[in-house]
Amino acid sequence: MRIVVLAGGIGGARFLRGLKQAAPDAEITVIGNTGDDIHLFGLRVCPDLDTVMYTLGGGINDEQGWGRTDETFHLKEELAAYGVGPEWFGLGDRDFATHVVRTQMLGAGYPLSAVTEALCARWKPGVRLIPMTDDRVETHVAVTLPPEGAEGAAGDGAGAGAAGEQRAIHFQEYWVRLRASVPAHAVVPVGADQAKPAPGVLEAIAEADIILFPPSNPVVSIGTILAVPGIREAIADAGVPIVGLSPIVGGAPVRGMADKVLAAVGVETTAAAVAEHYGSGLLDGWLVDTADAAAVERVTAAGIRCRAVPLMMTDLDTTARMAEEALTLAEEVRA
C-alpha cells in the first residue's frame, strides 16, 4: 500500500510514528512543509523537515517535540557573546550540524529535495521525505505590533515597529518570539504562487492508494503545502481516499497555537470548521475526537464521511490506533 502524508512539524511527525507502527509494510511518502524555513546565521533551517526526520530517525528531543535529544547550546552562546542573534530561536549544537550540511549542499547546487534525501541517509526515517518544493517559500504573518516599551512588546528590535504598526513578519518570529501573542491579520506563504512541486511530489500523489492529512496545522502546515500550485489539484484529482485527522479537540488546538492562525483566515477553532475549510472537494473522510462527537453530523452534512475516535497522541500505541482508524475510514470511502 502506498500512502502519501502531508506533514508539518510536531503533530505530523508524531502521527507518522503511529502510522509506521499501524502499517509496517506500507510505502510512506511524506510531503513536508517548508514555509516555516528560515535563514539564520547564514544557514538554511528547515524546522518541519527536520522534526519529521529526527522524530522518525530517533534523534528528536521528545519532550519539546523539536530539535535534538541530548543537546547543548555552546555555539549559540558564543554567537550571543559576539552580539550575534537572534537569541529567541533555540538552535543547539547538534542541530547546527544539520543546517551546516544542508547549507553547504545547497551552496554546491543541490536542490533541497536532494539535500533532504542525503540527510535522511543518516537518519533512516523509514519513509520517503520530500520537501513540498525546491523553491523558496516563506510564510509571513501580518500583525499589529504593540507600541515599543509596552507591556509584553517585542523589545529586541528584531521587527518591533512604532505604536500599533502593521508589519509582516516571518512565521518563526510570530510563533517563537511573539508566541502568537499579537493578533494575526493574514498568513501569506510568500513565493508559493511561483513555486513548483519538488521532484517526486506529484508522482507520489498520482501513485498513492491513500492520502492522509495528519493533525498538523491546517493553515501554516498543510495549507502552505496545498498553496504550491499543482499540489492541491493533484490531490483532488488523485481518485483515491483522502482522509484527515482533526488537530482541534474540544474547540482548542491539541498543541501549538493553531487557533491564532485559523482566526487570521476566518475559520473558527472547531473540528467541524477545519473539515469545512478543507472542503468536500478535497477531503473524503475526517476523524474528530470523541470529545467532538457532536460535530460528526455537521461534517457529514458537508459531504465528508466522519467518525469520532480518540485523537490524543498520548503514546505510540494510541497514535497507531488513530492511524488505523484513518486507514479504516479510507477503505470505507473507497468501498
**Which of residues 15, 22, 59, 66 is near ligand FO1 by CB under 6 A?**
66
Nearest to 4 by CA among 228, 309, 165, 244: 244
Query: Rule CB under 6 A: is residue 91 a binding residue for ligand FO1?
Result: yes
User: Which cell goes with 127?
Assistant: 519513509
Does position 79 bind ligand FO1 by CB under 6 A?
A: no
Contact call for residue 224 and ligand FO1 (CB under 6 A):
no
Residue 188 backbone phi and psi in degrees, to 5: -125, 120
Stretch that binds ligand FO1, among 41-49, 76-84, 191-199, 277-285 (CB under 6 A): 41-49
Whether 283 contacts 237, CB under 8 Å = no
Under the binding rule (CB under 6 A), the answer on residue 247 touching ligand FO1 is: no
Minimum distance from residue 105 beta carbon to ligand FO1 (Å): 17
**Is residue 90 part of the contact set for ligand FO1 (CB under 6 A)?**
yes
Closer CB to ligand FO1, 69 or 328, in the complex: 69
Q: Is 158 in the site for ligand FO1 (CB under 6 A)?
A: no
Based on the shown chain and the rule CB under 6 A, indicate whether residue 172 belongs to the binding site for ligand FO1: yes
The β-bridge relationship of strands 248-249 and 252-253 is: antiparallel
Nearest to ligand FO1 of 202, 261 (CB atom): 261
- Asked if 52 and 7 count as a contact pair (C-beta separation under 8 A), the reply is yes
Number of chain residues interacting with ligand FO1 (CB under 6 A): 17
* DSSP output for 80-103: HHTT---SSS---HHHHHHHHHHH
302 forms part of the interface with ligand FO1 (CB under 6 A) = no
193 burial level (CB within 10 Å; 0-12, 13-18, 19+) = exposed
Query: Cα dist. 37→61, 74, 276, 327 in Å?
Result: 19, 23, 28, 30
- Smallest distance from ligand FO1 to CB 186, Å: 18
* Site residues, ligand FO1 (CB under 6 A): 8-9, 36, 45, 47-48, 50-51, 66-67, 89-91, 95, 172, 175-176
